[in-house]
Amino acid sequence: MKTKEIVQSKIPDPRNQDAKIKAQKVILGFKKELVEFFVRLRILRIVFRHFQNPVKVLKILKTLDSNRRKISGPGRVNKFIKINGRYFWNLYIPGSNSLAFDRFFEAEINRISPIPGKTNRFSNIFIAFTKKCPLKCEHCFEWDVINKKEKLGLNDIQMIIKKFQLKGVAQFQITGGEPMLRVDDIVEMIQSSHKGTDFWVLTSGFNLTYANAQKLKQAGLTGVVISLDHFDPESHNLFRGFKKSYQWVEEAVRNSIASSLVTALSICVTKTFVSESNLMRYAELAKKLGVSFVQILEPKALGHYSGKDVQLAPEQEKILEEFYLKMNFDKRFRDFPIITYHGYYQRRVGCFGAGNRHLYIDTDGDLHPCPFCFSKTGNALDGSLDDSIAELQAKGCHSFNDSNIR
C-alpha cells in the first residue's frame, strides 16, 4: 500500500511570514496501518498489565473493538492526525503515546472487566470558566447567565479541577461564556494541575491571538475547538450576533495551528442549514482552513433557543448521519477533517453524559448532565461530590437513554 502523509496545513507563523511552522498532518495509507498497529499494541500492553489470561485478554480486546464500532460506525479508523508525536483519531479520546491515553483505555477496560486499583471515573468534564462573553449567539445555552456577576475565582476552579482529577479524568473541556477572556487563569490552572489529563478550550475564536495560543500551548493545552456555524461569513456573523466573529475564527484557526494545538471546528447545524450540499461546502472550508476535526452539534431548545422549535426532523438527522459516515469511512474523503457527531452514537447506544462518562460544571460550580441538558444536581464545591454524582447518574440524561455500553 502506498505511503501517504498529507500536510493538512502550511500556515506561516503569523508574526513572521517567512517562518516555517510544524504542520498538522493526516496519516494515511501504509503509514496509517503502521500507526494503527502500534496504537493497538499499546492498548494490548495496557490490557496485559492487568490481565494475564489470554482468553480474557482476547475477550476484552474484542469488546473494545465492538464498542468502537457501535459508537463510531461500522468502518475501521481510516486516518490519524499527528501532532507533537501523538496520534489522534477521535476528538474525545486522548491522542496516543500519552498518560491520558493509557488512563482513558484503562477506564474503558475497567468497564468491561474490573481492574484492581484505581481507574479514571470520567472520560471528559466540561467546565464553564466565565459568564462573560462579547457575543449574542442564536443557540447560546448559557444565555440566562451571560455577563452576570462571576461566582468562581481561580482558586475555586483549581479546587474543582483537583477534586475531579482525583477521581480520574482523561480530558477537561474549558468552556464559558467566552473562556479566552480568562486566558491567564486558564494558563495558571493548567500549570497547577496534575499530569495525565488533556485540556481543551472551546471558544468563539475571540482573543485567540498568536501570543495567547503560544502561552496556552506552553502551559500544556492539547487543543482548541473553535465555533464556526456557517461557511458564509455573513451568515456566521449573524448567527453569532457580532460582525467580526468570522474574522476571529479565521485568525484563531491560524494561530492555533501555528502553535501546534490540535484544532477543531464546531458547528451547530440548524434546520435551515442541514443539506448535503451545505455540509459539503462546510467540509471544504474546514479542509482549506487546515483543521483536524469538525464537530457537529444539534440545536436544543434551551438557553437562547428556549421555547423555540429548533429540534431537527428525523430526515435531517438522517442527512447528518449519512454525511458523518461518508466523511469518516469513504476513502474518497480521507484527506478531509475527521467528523465528530454525538447524535450518531446517542441514538444507537445512549448518552455518555449525566456522570456516565462525562458531565457539565456551570459557572457557579453546579453539576448538570451535559452542556445541552440542564438539571442542577449538587455543587462541585459544596457538599459531598460522590452523592451529587450518584444523584446525577440516577436522574440520567433527559433526551436519550443512558449508555448501554458499560
- Does residue 178 interact with ligand SF4 by CB under 6 A? yes
**CA dihedral for 299, 300, 306, 309, sign (positive or negative):** positive
How are beta strands 367-368 and 358-361 bridged, if at all? Answer: antiparallel
Nearer to ligand SF4, 76 or 136 (CB): 136
User: CA angle, corner 336, sides to 22 and 224, nearest 5?
Assistant: 55
- Does residue 176 interact with ligand SF4 by CB under 6 A? yes
What is the pattern of x (binds ligand SF4, CB under 6 A) and - over residues 189-218? Answer: ---------------x--------------
**Residue 55 belongs to what H/E stretch?**
helix 54-72
- Does residue 371 interact with ligand SF4 by CB under 6 A? no
Nearer to ligand SF4, 177 or 355 (CB): 177
User: CA angle, corner 257, sides to 358 and 39, nearest 5?
Assistant: 55
Nearer to ligand SF4, 98 or 175 (CB): 175
Which DSSP state fits 406?
Answer: -
Compute the CA torsion angle 214, 22, 205, 154 (nearest 10 deg).
-30
Q: How far apart are CA 145 and CA 128, in angstroms?
A: 12
Stretch that binds ligand SF4, among 92-100, 130-138, 192-200, 207-215 (CB under 6 A): 130-138
Q: How far is the CB of 391 from ligand SF4 (least distance, A)?
A: 27
Q: How far is the CB of 126 from ligand SF4 (least distance, A)?
A: 12
Nearer to ligand SF4, 200 or 336 (CB): 200
CB atoms within 10 A of CB 1: 9
Task: By CB under 6 A, name the one of 27, 39, 133, 294 that touches ligand SF4.
Answer: 133
What is the pattern of x (binds ligand SF4, CB under 6 A) and - over residues 138-167? Answer: --x-x---x---------------------
**CA dihedral for 387, 126, 358, 373, sign (positive or negative):** positive
Cell of 6: 498529507
Q: How far apart are CA 315 and CA 321, in angstroms?
A: 10
Stretch that binds ligand SF4, among 59-67, 134-142, 248-256, 274-282 (CB under 6 A): 134-142
Stretch that binds ligand SF4, among 112-120, 128-136, 253-261, 342-350 (CB under 6 A): 128-136
**Residue 126 belongs to what H/E stretch?**
strand 122-128
**Residues within the interface to ligand SF4 (CB under 6 A):** 133, 135-137, 140, 142, 146, 176-178, 204
